[in-house]
Amino acid sequence: MKAAPALPDETIAVTVAEGEAGARLDKYLTDALAGKPEGGKLEGGRETAAAAPSRARIRQLIEEGHVALEGAGGAKPVAEPARRVKTGERWRVTLPPPAPAKPQGQAIPLEIVYEDQDLIVVMKPAGLVVHPAPGNPDMTLVNALVAHCGETLSGIGGERRPGIVHRLDKETSGLMVVAKSDRAHKGLSAQFAAHGRDGKLARAYTALTWGVPAKKRGVIDANIARSSHNRVKMATVKSRVGEDGDDITAGRIAITHYAVKAEYAGGLVARVECRLETGRTHQIRVHMTAIGHPLLGDPTYGTGMKSRKAKLSVDAQIALERLGRQALHAHHLGFEHPVTGEKMSFDAELPADMRALVAALEG
């Protein structure tokens, strides 16, 4: 394994050695950045073992376009964690600046649905980011939770997302559970990792979509990855055959179950319940768009709907403008209490902005 010194802007370059060909990209880079087998150092003496990214973090960096393959035409981002590396390939990994390890508590109002010594269930409003990240260093749900829970909030190894076991997009409202103890964090994380396949976890969302799906009930099974055309967006992708004939699984498995609950404005809009079998970034928004029914108000995936919007009543158009976000709300959350084993179930009505839009559509 040959590795070059760290380049400017926190970019690391590694070259695949002869004996390393055939490894998955995410596995290869995890080992390379950990300094294996050089005992914790990349070529040039750069220490990496203490702060080497985990495989999950490497996979995230790949999917977000921070990993590129050098070639004659320059470095080209590759968003396929399962891609097999080849001898002589030179890969560049860009590591974004780390966020503060310990978010500070901030006095942000919290709507608490349930709380005990091990966990807390809250109603996240639209517009609130879940945890600190580049571009949103503070004023997040985590900052509010730190202020409310203090030292009881669970954290692992100084993570900047203490207690967080799942998340909602900034402009998606709804129910969230957060761990307050290490035991609860471990138990809840396992349930969310299983995505309900063990019968413990249930999540349901209400979405308002453009048009009514032809099948009133169905399953969308389509892998999701970072879009190759716009790194801000996610997209459905298909597996393909690589140059060596191997099947390359693109993206990450994503499965959404949906059911049409109501139709409005003569079929211009549908109220759809979505239940997740997996939990990918923008999953519902991407999947509904993939079947031709993007969410109302979605600025990323719901563009190009001006002609449909013009057919809505004036009141509905005004309500949609006031919504100012994707019409998506996490209305149901069920899980097994990670400490007591009790079945927990919570339901939440639509927030005021979505209720106003539905009322206008019904009018």
Going by DSSP bridges, is the β-strand pair 328-336/173-179 parallel, antiparallel, or unpaired? parallel
SS3 at position 294: coil
Contact 332/204 with Cβ under 8 angstroms? Answer: yes
| CA-wise closest residue to 28 among 39, 38, 15, 9 | 15
Contact 259/216 with Cβ under 8 angstroms? Answer: yes
The whole-model pTM stands at 0.72
Task: Quick: pLDDT tens for 144-192.
Answer: 999 998 877 766 534 667 889 999 999 999 999 999 988 899 899 999 9
Q: What is the C-alpha separation between 15 and 323, in angstroms, rounded?
A: 49
What is 17-76 written as a DSSP string?
A: -GGGTTSBHHHHHHHHHTTTTTTSEETTTEE-GGGPPPHHHHHHHHHTT-EEEEETTEEE
Going by DSSP bridges, is the β-strand pair 328-336/269-276 parallel, antiparallel, or unpaired? unpaired
Q: Do domains 111-194 and 206-362 have the same CATH topology?
A: yes
Tell me if residue 118 is catalytic: no
Overall fold of domain 2-94: 3.10.290
- H helices, E strands: number in the chain: 8, 20
Q: What is the helix (H) or strand (E) element at residue 194, kind and residue range? A: helix 182-194
Q: How does the average pLDDT of the chain come out, rounded? A: 85
CATH 3.30.2350.10 fits 111-194, yes or no: yes
Q: What is the C-alpha separation between 96 and 40, in angstroms, rounded?
A: 21
Domain extent listing, the chain: 2-94, 111-194, 206-362
| CA-wise closest residue to 82 among 15, 26, 22, 32 | 26
**Which residue is associated with the tokens 């035409």?**
73
**Active-site choice (26, 169, 298, 353):** 169
pLDDT for position 252? 85
Could you tell me the two tokens for 1? Answer: 């394994």
Contact 174/205 with Cβ under 8 angstroms? Answer: yes
Could you tell me the two tokens for 48? Answer: 């990496």
Q: Which residues, given as ranges, of the chain have pLDDT below 70?
A: 1-10, 35-52, 97-101, 154-160, 231, 239-249
pLDDT for position 303? 86
CATH number for the domain whose boundaries are 206-362: 3.30.2350.10
Phi, psi at residue 211, to the nearest 5°? 80, 165
Q: What is the C-alpha separation between 333 and 177, in angstroms, rounded?
A: 8
Alpha-carbon distance values, 145 to 10, 130, 152, 334 (Å): 31, 10, 10, 21
Q: What is the C-alpha separation between 266 and 363, in angstroms, rounded?
A: 11
